[in-house]
Structure 1
Amino acid sequence: MDLIDFPSMSRGDLRGLRMAIDSGFRDFTRAYGETLENIFHPIQVLLVFIENLLIDTPWVIVMAALAALVWLLSRSWKIVLGSVISLCLIGYFGMWDDTMSTIAMVAVCTLIAVVLGIPIGILMARSDRANALITPILDMMQTMPSFVYLIPVVMIFGLGKVPGVIAVVIYAIPPIIRLTNLGIRQVPADVLEAAEAFGSSGGQKLRDVQLPLALPTIMAGVNQTIMMSLAMVVVASMIGVKGLGQPVLQAINNQYFTLGVMNGLAIVAIAIIFDRSTQAYGKRLQKHLEAVHG
C-alpha cells in the first residue's frame, strides 16, 4: 500500500520564508537596536552597581550581611551556619568574585521577574480571558530550549550583561506568574464573601485578603524563579555574563574536570542557601496565616 505524501511547503519556499523573517528581524535590530539598548540601560547600571558593591566590599561584611539576610528569612541557626560554611569554602577555593557576580545577577533577575510577574499573575487570577491567553505563552516559555532565548537578545543587544539578564528573566519568570495566579485563585470563597459583606471593594479584597493569603504560594514562585535563574547562569555565560558559569563553560571547552566540578558545586551551594531560606520563610508565613485564621 502506497503512503500518501503529507502536503508540505517546498524547500525553496521554506528557505525563502526563513530568509525573509531573518532579514526583517535584522532590519528591526538596525532600526531600533540603539533605542532598546537605551531603554534597558538602567538594568545594566543596577547590575554593575550591585556586582561592584559585593566584590569591592570586604568579604567579612558581605558574609555578615548575607548571614543576616538568611537569618531574617529562615530564623534558623542551622541554615545560617551552613550558609557561612559554604561561603567560607567558596572564598577559600578562590571563587568569591565569581560567586558575588552570580549572586548579583540572580538578585537583579529575580527582582525584575517579581516586579513583572506578580502583576501578570494578578491579572490572570482576575480575568479568565487573560488566563486563557497568557497560559499558552507560559507553556511555550517553559518548554522552549533555553539556548533559543539567546538568539534574539544577542542579535539586538550583542554580548554582555543586558542580553544575559533578559534571557534569564524570560526563562525564570513563568513560575512566579503561575503561582501568583494559583495562590489568588485558591483563596477560599467564604473569606471573599466575608470581605464583601464588610463592604470591601475589589482593590481592598486584593490588597487586604487575597494577596496576604496567597503570599506563601507566591513565595514558592519566588523560590522557583531563583532556582531557574541559577540554572540559566551557565547558559548565560555563553554571551559574556560574568559569574560561576564562565569557569564551568571554560571547563567544558577545555575538559578541566576539577574546575567544572568546583564551580558547579559553588552554584549548588548558592542554590541550596537561597532554596532553604525562601522555603523556611514561606513555611513561617503559612504557619502565621493558619494561626491568624484559626
Structure 2
Amino acid sequence: MTWFQDFPQMDDDTLRSLKQFIDEGFRGFTRSYGETIEGFFNPLQKFLLLSEKFMTQTPWPVIVLIVLAIAWGASRSVKITIGALVALMAIGYFGMWDDSMRTISMIFVCTVLSIVIGLPIGIMMARSERVQRVINPILDVMQTMPSFVYLIPVVMLLGIGRVPGLIAVVIYAIPPMIRMTNLGIRLVDKDVLEAADAFGSSSWQKLKSVQLPLALPTIMAGINQTIMMALAMVVIASMIGVQGLGQPVLKAIANQYFTLGIFNGLAIVGIAIIFDRVSQAYGQRLQKHLEVVHG
C-alpha cells in the first residue's frame, strides 16, 4: 500500500497558510459587514418574534381550533383532522405545548421564507436552461453538505440566536422547494401552452394563469419536503440558540435523560405527521381537481 501513501499532497505549510488566509478573510468580512447584515435581517427577526408570540400567548383552545380548521380545509378528511387533534392533545398533556408552539412558529416562518425565495428561483430555472445549469450544482452542494457545516458561517456572521438558526434551517430546507417548482413548471403539457399562445397570452399571463396553477400539486410536494427537512433540522439548530423542542432533546443527549429525549422527539414526529398528512392531502385534492377541470 506504499503507492497510496505516496499520493501527492500539498505542502503542510502551504495548506496551513491557505486555510489561515481563508479564515482571516472571512473574519475580516464579518467584522466589516456583520452589523450591516444583522440590520438587514431585523425584519425577519420581528416576523419570527411576532409569529412565536402569537403561537405561545394565544389560548390553547384557539390554537387547536385553528389547526383543526386548517387540517379539515386542506384535507376534507375526518381521519386526518382527528389525528391532528389527538397529536395536539398528547403534546399538551405531556407538558410540551410551549416548546411545540415555538417549533411550529419557526417552521411556519421557514416555510414562508422558503416559498418567497424558492418560488421565483424555481420559475427562473424553468424558463432558462442557463440559470438551471448554474443553480443545480449549488442545490446539489446545499443538499449534500453536512447540516452542521451550515452553522459555522451563519454563527460567525450573526452570532447565536433565533435568526442565525432560522437562516441555517432555510438553507438546508429550501432546495426541494426550488427543484419541485422548476420540475412542476417544466412538466406542464406543451399542448396547453400552445393553446395559450394561440389565444395571444403574454409570457406573464401564461405563467400566472396556466403554468403555476397546473404545477401547483408538484409545488405543494416541494413545500411538503421543505417542511419535513426544516423539522429534521430543529435539533441541530437548537445548538445555536433556536428555542423549541430541539433544546430539550439536546439537553437529553448531554445529560442522558432518556424519557426527556423520547417524549420531545415524539412531539417532533407528531408535528411532522400533521404537516405531512395535511399538505399531502391538499396536494392530492389539487391534483384531482385539475384532472377534472382539464380531463
**TM-score range, shorter-chain basis?**
over 0.9
Residue number in structure 2 paired with 1:191: 192
Note the alpha carbon deviations across 1:74-93, whole angstroms, 9 max, x for none: 11111111111110110010
Residue 239 in 1 paired to residue 231 in 2?
Answer: no
> Partner letter of residue 197 of structure 1?
A
Give the deviation of 1:3 after TM superposition. 2.8
Aligned to 1:133: 134
Detail structure 1 runs of 4+ shifted over 3 Å in the superposition. none
Gaps of 5+ in 1: none
Q: Which amino acid aligns with 1:244?
A: L
195-204 or 274-283: bigger deviation? 195-204
- RMSD over aligned CA atoms reads 1.1
How many Å separate the matches in 1 of 2:257 and 2:200?
65
Give the alignment's TM-score, normalised by structure 2. 0.98
Q: Does residue 221 of the first structure (1) align with residue 246 of the second (2)?
A: no
Three-state SS of the structure 2 residue aligned to 1:3 is helix
Letter of the 2:3 counterpart: L
**1:32 counterpart letter in structure 2:** Y
In structure 2, what is the Cα distance between the partners aligned to 1:90 and 1:213? Answer: 37
State the alpha-carbon separation in 1 of the partners of residues 180 and 3 from structure 2: 47
State the partner residue of 1:202: 203
Task: Measure, in 1, the Cα distance between the counterparts of 2:30 and 2:98.
Answer: 34
Please name the residue that 1:182 is paired with. Answer: 183
TM-score, normalization by structure 1: 0.98
Q: What's 1:274 paired with?
A: 275
Residue 147 of structure 1 aligns with which residue?
148
Alignment of 1:249-264 (within 5 A): 249-264=250-265
1:3 has 2:9 as partner: no
Q: Please give the alpha-carbon distance, in whole angstroms, between the structure 2 residues aligned to 1:90 and 1:16.
A: 52
State, as a whole percentage, how many aligned pairs show the same letter. 67
Partner of 2:81: 80
Deviation sequence 1:84-110 (CA, Å, 0-9, x none) = 111011001000000000000000001
Aligned pairs for 1:1-40 within 5 A: 3=3, 5-40=6-41
Aligned length: 294
Larger CA deviation: 276-285 vs 201-210: 201-210
Partners of 1:2 and 1:292 in 2: CA distance: 68
After the TM superposition, which of the residue ranges 125-134 and 64-73 deviates more from structure 2?
64-73
Letter in 1 for 2:81: V
The amino acid of 2:79's aligned partner reads: K
Separation of aligned partners in 2, 1:270 and 1:77:
18
State the match for 1:120 in structure 2.
121
Provide the rounded CA distance (Å) in 2 between the counterparts of 1:37 and 1:70. 36
SS of match in other structure, 2:113 = helix
How far did residue 6 of structure 1 move? Answer: 3.1
Deviation at 1:2, TM superposition (A): 6.8
